[in-house]
């Protein structure tokens, strides 16, 4: 059985929904179809909430536009005999949504939990509509079987419980049934409150279901032909990657390729279920296939990406011998708070420890380091603890990258020749990714340069 996931652009318009119908109706046998909210709607739901909380009357116009947009799609695509039923259900959801907006308008504030409820309406409505459009559609409500728990203040999937609830939910799936599931949304295991899997999380819903049910494949239907060797808006000769490994896709995603939501890969990787990236607007294109091992015909380097919003924390050692111990302590101090570290080291100075992190977490990481290293800072073993912002991580992803010393040197020299300063680079800990931390305003120049060297 396969699990398909259609993103927001795929379910965003009457035209694109016709493509979705064609794709789903042509599947023989049963399948599970996860859907996002109508394209752009989640952003709209959030901006409208912010308007209402800040006493901007125009939230009412936004609400009307949301109602109209759903009404047009229902009117154009839902069969006559289902019109009343779908209209009643979606109208009720829209009413509830509006009540939530009225609430924050009166409250003049937007509590996180209320925002989670508000954004859930996107997928709740799109799934009702898609169920009515496809043949043999039956809706399954993920609020009942996708569960989250709190982890450092964030909601993360409660994998164990979710797995058993998914198995239970789909035990009775009909023979030709196309089960339609709202992506992204979930409920808290402890409180039952509505939560979600994070922006872009519908992919993850698909992966959790595919893994729990041992699906044959997880198909991610989107608006591009697959993973590309680079962002085609920046690198003109970027091309589709036919095949890549789970690890390579994970690295490309965590360093800026926006094809799938990075956590998506873990559950299916674990079960060795292939992922295919396909284009709803170009259904006959082969797409990108992701499996566990490289193929003979694979290119050695898969792609070049860049991750904006990267910051670098660095400090100097008095004595090079301290490097392993202090690096370890620094890493532990930062990562025990759930902050993700990008593994790099200084390109030319062994007395400097460099730690790259996402800019959003850099301030917190710096504080944690100041605490951890306070004794060494005060006795002078460590100096110059500093934070640098406005950087980007340039990632070159492929197979056996640790062995590619010559390539790594060549990239370094080419960048430096173009006066692109390398603040830090990979430390050899990854066999899949070479990294260069550069100034963010140099990425448009660096990407095509590096792409032409390695692809
Ligand atoms: N609708 C949600 C978002 O826009 C989830 C998704 O599309 O994957 O983030
Ligand atoms: Mg997405």
In this prediction, residue 210 carries a pLDDT of 98
* Residues with Cβ within 8 Å of residue 175, at least 6 apart in sequence: 29, 30
- Is any atom of ligand 1 closer than 6 Å to the C-beta of 199? yes
Give the closest ligand to the alpha carbon of residue 39.
1
Taking 90 as the threshold, does the pLDDT of residue 215 lie above it? yes
Percent of the chain with pLDDT over 90: 95
Dist. CA 204 → ligand 1 center (Å): 10
Which of the four pLDDT bands, split at 50, 70 and 90, describes residue 153?
confident
Dist. CA 299 → ligand 1 center (Å): 32
> What's the mean pLDDT when you consider all of the chain?
96
Give the closest ligand to the alpha carbon of residue 261.
2
Taking 90 as the threshold, does the pLDDT of residue 131 lie above it? yes
In this prediction, residue 165 carries a pLDDT of 98
In this prediction, residue 349 carries a pLDDT of 87
138 CA to centre of own chain:
27
Percent of the chain with pLDDT over 70: 100
Taking 90 as the threshold, does the pLDDT of residue 350 lie above it? no
Q: Provide the 3-class DSSP secondary structure of residue 13.
A: coil
Mean pLDDT of the 141-165 span: 96
Give CA–CA dist 326/314, Å, rounded. 12
In this prediction, residue 347 carries a pLDDT of 87
Give CA–CA dist 353/386, Å, rounded. 11
- Is any atom of ligand 1 closer than 6 Å to the C-beta of 202? yes
Dist. CA 132 → ligand 2 center (Å): 23
Q: What is the pLDDT of residues 303-340, one digit of tens each?
A: 999 999 999 999 999 988 888 999 999 999 999 888 99
Q: What is the pLDDT of residues 219-270, one digit of tens each?
A: 999 999 999 999 999 999 999 999 999 999 999 999 999 899 999 999 999 9
Mean pLDDT of the 51-64 span: 98
Taking 90 as the threshold, does the pLDDT of residue 429 lie above it? no
Dist. CA 120 → ligand 2 center (Å): 15
* Residue among 7, 9, 35, 36 to mutate when testing ligand 1 (max atoms within 8 A of CB): 36
Q: Which two tokens stand for residue 74?
A: 């229902």
Residue 146 contacts residue 208 (beta carbons within 8 Å): yes
In this prediction, residue 337 carries a pLDDT of 81
Taking 90 as the threshold, does the pLDDT of residue 152 lie above it? no
Strand partners, 276: 219, 289
Q: What is the pLDDT of residues 398-412, one digit of tens each?
A: 999 999 999 999 999
Mean pLDDT of the 168-189 span: 97
Backbone angles phi, psi at 175, to 5 degrees: -60, -50
* Alpha helices (H) along 78-158: 80-107, 112-133
Give the closest ligand to the alpha carbon of residue 260.
2
In this prediction, residue 379 carries a pLDDT of 94
Backbone angles phi, psi at 247, to 5 degrees: -65, -45
Strand partners, 218: 3, 275
Cβ atoms < 10 Å from Cβ of 246: 20
Taking 90 as the threshold, does the pLDDT of residue 102 lie above it? yes
Give CA–CA dist 448/235, Å, rounded. 5
Dist. CA 197 → ligand 2 center (Å): 12
């Amino acid at each position: 059985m396969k699990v398909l996931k259609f993103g927001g652009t795929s379910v965003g318009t009457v035209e694109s929904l016709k493509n979705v119908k064609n794709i789903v109706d042509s599947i023989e046998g049963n399948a599970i179809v996860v859907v996002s909210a109508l394209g752009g709607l989640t952003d709209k739901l959030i901006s409208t909430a912010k308007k209402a909380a800040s006493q901007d009357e125009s939230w009412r116009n936004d609400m009307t536009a949301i109602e109209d947009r759903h009404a047009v799609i229902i009117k154009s695509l839902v069969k006559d005999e289902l019109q009343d039923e779908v209209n009643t259900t979606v109208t009720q959801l829209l009413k509830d949504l509006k009540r939530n907006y009225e609430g924050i308008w009166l409250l003049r504030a937007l509590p996180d939990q209320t925002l989670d409820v508000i954004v859930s309406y996107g997928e709740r409505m799109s799934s009702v509509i898609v169920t009515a459009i496809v043949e043999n559609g039956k809706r399954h409500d993920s609020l009942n079987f996708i569960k989250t728990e709190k982890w450092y203040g964030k909601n993360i999937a409660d994998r164990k419980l979710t797995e058993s609830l998914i198995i239970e939910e789909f035990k009775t799936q009909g023979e030709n049934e196309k089960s339609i599931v709202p992506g992204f949304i979930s409920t808290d295991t402890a409180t039952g409150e509505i939560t979600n899997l994070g922006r872009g999380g519908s992919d993850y819903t698909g992966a959790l279901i595919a893994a729990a049910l041992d699906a044959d494949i997880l198909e991610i239907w989107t608006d591009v032909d697959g993973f590309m060797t680079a962002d085609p808006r920046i690198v003109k000769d970027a091309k589709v990657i036919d095949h890549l490994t789970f690890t390579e896709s994970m690295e490309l995603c965590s360093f800026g390729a926006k094809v799938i939501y990075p956590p998506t890969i873990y559950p299916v990787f674990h079960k060795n279920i292939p992922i295919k990236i396909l284009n709803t607007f170009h259904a006959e294109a082969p797409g990108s296939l992701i499996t566990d091992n490289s193929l003979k015909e694979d290119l050695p380097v898969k792609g070049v990406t860049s991750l904006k919003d990267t910051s670098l924390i660095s400090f100097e050692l008095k004595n090079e011998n301290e490097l392993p111990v202090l690096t370890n302590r620094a890493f532990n101090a930062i990562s025990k708070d759930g902050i993700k570290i990008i593994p790099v080291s200084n390109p030319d100075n062994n007395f400097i420890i460099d730690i790259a992190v996402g800019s959003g977490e850099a301030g917190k990481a710096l504080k944690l380091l100041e605490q951890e290293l306070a004794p060494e800072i005060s006795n002078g073993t460590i100096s110059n603890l500093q934070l640098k912002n406005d950087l980007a991580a340039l990632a070159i992803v492929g197979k056996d990258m640790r062995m590619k010393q010559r390539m790594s040197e060549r990239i370094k020299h080419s960048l430096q020749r173009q006066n692109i300063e390398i603040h830090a680079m990979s430390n050899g800990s990854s066999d899949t990714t070479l990294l260069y931390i550069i100034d963010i305003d140099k990425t448009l120049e660096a990407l095509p340069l590096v792409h032409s060297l390695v692809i």
